Amino acid sequence: MKRFFLFIILLGFITLPGCLIVSKVSYHIAMKDSKQGTVTVSFYDIKSDAIGNKEFEEDKKHLFEHMLKSEEFIESMRFDGKFVKDRKLELKNGMLNGTAVYDFSDIEKVEGFRLQEGFYFLTLQSEDSVLTTNGQIVQTEAYKRIIWPSDTKVLEFEILSGLVPQQTRELAPFYQKGK
């Protein structure tokens, strides 16, 4: 099963038996200079693909306790060059959505971005669906690339998640704001 790779990279779910999945993710990257800036990443309709109850409980714990509240999560992101300023979950139209805001000092530590020869670019799998972007999309059989001139102050893109498993489990009913 294909997982949305940016979500996995950002949130470090590689070692989980179940996996959190999203229907789409959007990035808004405000550049302070050519290398530094602030990312606001939004995740829409967060669910679990865990089949067993044990894995589902681990997914809930990882999302609601580790990612949303723990200092350990902040430290692991800092180790990756991402300095978390805010993180939150919210219910909207019965869906669980999430937002994370973080600063970075090197654009190349942000989800595979590269700065080269006067351009920022992000290379994606060719089957990834870019819903919106303020960059230019270049597609080949092997990959899809979004390109922005290096003087661009705001880099934006929104991607529809890849194949979503037929069986997913809702997390929205388990979210309790403020707990």
SS3 labels along 116-149: ECCEEEEEEECCCEEEEECCEEEECCCEEEEEEE
What pLDDT score was predicted for residue 4? 35
177 vs 6: which has the higher pLDDT: 177
Range 2-28 average pLDDT: 60
For residue 123, tell me if it sits in a domain: yes
The DSSP call for residue 40 is E
Provide the 3-class DSSP secondary structure of residue 53: helix
For residue 11, tell me if it sits in a domain: yes
Write out pLDDT tens, residues 118-175. Answer: 999 999 998 889 999 999 999 999 999 999 999 999 999 999 976 666 789 999 999 9
**Integer Cα distance of 137 and 122 in angstroms:** 10
Write out pLDDT tens, residues 37-89. Answer: 999 999 999 999 999 999 999 999 999 999 999 999 999 999 999 999 999 99
Provide the 3-class DSSP secondary structure of residue 68: helix
Q: At residue 19, does pLDDT exceed 60? A: yes
For residue 110, tell me if it sits in a domain: yes
What pLDDT score was predicted for residue 178? 60
For residue 177, tell me if it sits in a domain: no
pTM of the model: 0.85
Instruction: Provide the pLDDT confidence category of residue 18 given band limits of 50, 70 and 90.
Output: low
**Integer Cα distance of 158 and 132 in angstroms:** 5
What pLDDT score was predicted for residue 127? 85
Write out pLDDT tens, residues 84-105. Answer: 999 999 999 999 999 999 999 9
For residue 171, tell me if it sits in a domain: no
What pLDDT score was predicted for residue 152? 98
For residue 113, tell me if it sits in a domain: yes
Cα atoms found within 13 Å of the Cα of residue 53, Cβ hemisphere only: 0
For residue 14, tell me if it sits in a domain: yes
Range of the domain at 10: 5-166
Number of domains the chain contains = 1
For residue 172, tell me if it sits in a domain: no
**Integer Cα distance of 1 and 110 in angstroms:** 24
